[in-house]
Structure 1
């Protein structure tokens, strides 16, 4: 049985829940009480010494970090549709995973944490980063349906949650028509699962 150490309001955890559902994999969740400090306890630190979620446990293997978990699930369970053999496509996927961990984290994700949970951040810097990355993604999606290639990939799964949660970061996502159309394509996928706070059309 696959076990996901999870936090229900985390966009990074939602990436993993979304891919597990899209792949129709059976799994169980074990909530980690971040507000209570469970992530700093010895049990969780043994799974992830950085004290973060999500963490995936599968057949005795432990994988930390949401992007790494997506790679693991795509390669082990997704087949060619989710983990292509083409070197260029894999490089593009890796680039979007990096964008999810960098610009999207430092822009839309940080703004959400500020507005929803009261975290102190440099809102001006986060806002500039968010505007830049949203513009880049919207232009990229003007000429193609998915971030990489002709079908959904883990690049889309990695980037989607914190963009869909942008309203909780006080970002007006509605002006990005190509991103909105991409949201709708993702939501139409068999096995799609949402989470509270995501943009609604």
Structure 2
């Protein structure tokens, strides 16, 4: 199994984290984004969009971090806990996968993209979206410890990386104690691996 990505990518990290939690042996292949390796023919043959991460597992090649999480949970999690088979529980997980691809990507991930990589995005709008999202999550986590039920699922894995690193985008986590407790619970899972911290934004104060 091979995972193609970079250490500072939250999308890559969520896959790396889940591979480690499932104790699945794999090779980490770092893609040279700075020199455009992801836009060259060899990589485009793996993902025509030229984006990371990509997972190769035998004759299976998959792109999109959330799709990869679904694949790994379905194929390798015999417990069925990471992606429940029950219709309602599965829908709850899917809700958070959609939030990861929407509000998290547009909020804390985009704010971090501006501060860490110098991307030309609306930083203030991304920070506002992140704060609004965290307010809702704080309320929901008053009722339970995990996002989609009483135990961790791929919903938590999909949402963790960019929320944990929101201070790099200038979005404080201090106003959200339940959210911080949820982050700590993920870090306490056996096999957890962190994503490198970049000292920008509020990171030097909060991380």
* TM-score after normalising by structure 2: 0.94
Q: Does the Cα contact within 8 Å between 1:5 and 1:53 map onto a contact in 2?
A: yes
Deviations 1:138-197 (A, max 9, x none): 111111000011100000000000000111101111111001100111111100110112
Residue 122 of structure 2 corresponds to 122
**Matched ranges for 1:98-177 at <5 A:** 98-177=98-177
Q: Per-residue deviation at 1:84? A: 1.3
Please tell me the root mean square deviation across aligned C-alpha atoms, in Å.
1.2
Q: Per-residue deviation at 1:83? A: 2.1
Residue 182 of structure 1 corresponds to 182
Residue 74 of structure 1 corresponds to 73
Q: Does the Cα contact within 8 Å between 1:55 and 1:62 map onto a contact in 2?
A: yes
**Separation of aligned partners in 2, 1:28 and 1:176:** 36
**Separation of aligned partners in 1, 2:63 and 2:167:** 28
**Separation of aligned partners in 2, 1:70 and 1:114:** 26
**Separation of aligned partners in 1, 2:49 and 2:134:** 29
Q: Is 1:37 aligned to residue 36 of structure 2?
A: yes
Q: Per-residue deviation at 1:97? A: 0.3
Q: Is 1:56 aligned to residue 90 of structure 2?
A: no
Tell me the SS of whatever aligns to 1:102.
Answer: helix
Tell me the SS of whatever aligns to 1:35.
Answer: helix
Q: Does the Cα contact within 8 Å between 2:11 and 2:53 map onto a contact in 1?
A: yes
**Separation of aligned partners in 1, 2:58 and 2:197:** 33
Gap regions ≥5 residues in structure 1: none
Q: Does the Cα contact within 8 Å between 1:167 and 1:197 map onto a contact in 2?
A: no
**Separation of aligned partners in 1, 2:134 and 2:34:** 30
Gap regions ≥5 residues in structure 2: none
Q: Per-residue deviation at 1:124? A: 2.5
Q: Per-residue deviation at 1:65? A: 0.2
* Off by >3 Å, runs of 4+ in structure 1: 198-201
**Separation of aligned partners in 1, 2:192 and 2:127:** 29
Residue 5 of structure 1 corresponds to 4
Q: Does the Cα contact within 8 Å between 1:12 and 1:54 map onto a contact in 2?
A: yes
